[in-house]
Amino acid sequence: MPSSADPALRKVFDQFREPGDPEDTMTVNGVMKFLPAIGVGLEEETVLVLAEALRAPTMGEFAREGFVEGWKALNCDTLDKMRARVPALRISFTNDEATFKKVYLFTYNFARSPNQRSLQMDTAIEYWKLLFTHRFQKNLEDWIEFLETEYKKSIAKDTWNCMYDFVQFADKDPELKSYDVDGAWPSILDDFVQFSRKKNGTEPSPQEEMDIS
């Protein structure tokens, strides 16, 4: 529903929209000017927090409606207010699990090319590095090595979504000792756990496998 903030936010949107952009779209050049203007680095995870909050349709693009409605929900209608809000958004990504989960699940479609059914592996890896800045640190290097040397395929949405729960699990059990390969995890994670255990010499004994099952 229109409010008094709408004209101000539309003005900010148009301030950064390039002359050749579609009427209701801010494309990559405008986005690359807008983010630094509010104190957000182009390669920091806060970009993803903003993209989710403003319902960005894809990388390097904002739509007018999502931009206006998103900033209204954050009670910001000027660049100064946006700049002042950024530190809280940055902290929420690290400290608020609900925000992290929402941003994480949003990122798959955001990062995927519009004409692709799945996410290219190299792209997924770069986003996982960004998203897992403060978690999964004991396993991330092995996960990337497994993808690049063993898996070598694009990433399905189910795999992406399951990784949220797996990272929660791995942060509590970095050696993956209690992982049950006969459980409900997808086969890619079964394969990764076997790869990680073999690499790190943490394969369970037959008795331990029985205890897990």
Highest mean pLDDT among 4-8, 19-23, 26-30, 207-211: 26-30
Domains and CATH numbers, the chain: 5-96 (1.10.238.10), 112-212 (1.10.238.200)
- CA nearest neighbour of 100 among 163, 146, 40: 163
Q: Give mean pLDDT, residues 181-208.
A: 85
Is residue 205 very low, low, confident or very high in pLDDT (cuts 50, 70, 90)?
low
**The pLDDT of residue 2 is above 80:** no
CA distance 111 to 123: 7
Report the DSSP beta bridge partners of residue 163: none
Count other Cβ atoms within 10 Å, centred on residue 152: 9
How distant, in Å, are the alpha carbons of 1, 8, 13, 44, 193 from that of 4?
10, 8, 15, 32, 54
pLDDT at 16 over 60: yes
Of 115, 133, 137, 121, whose CA–CA distance to 188 is shortest? Answer: 121
Model pLDDT for residues 93-103, shown as the tens digit of each residue: 999 999 999 99
Q: Return the HEC string of 6-53.
A: HHHHHHHHHHHCCCCCCCCEECHHHHHHHHHHCCCCCCCCHHHHHHHH
CA distance 26 to 21: 6
pLDDT for 134 = 87
Average confidence score pLDDT of the chain = 92
194: pLDDT strictly greater than 70: yes
The strand ranges marked E within the chain are: 25-26, 62-63
178 — pLDDT class (breaks 50, 70, 90): very high
Per-residue pLDDT tens digits for 72-118: 999 999 999 999 999 999 999 999 999 999 999 999 999 998 888 99
> What are 109's two structure tokens?
């479609």
pLDDT of res. 206: 55
**What pLDDT sits at residue 203?**
76
pLDDT at 213 over 60: no
Give the H/E segment covering residue 107: helix 97-111
pTM of the model: 0.90
What percent of the chain is predicted at pLDDT more than 90? Answer: 86
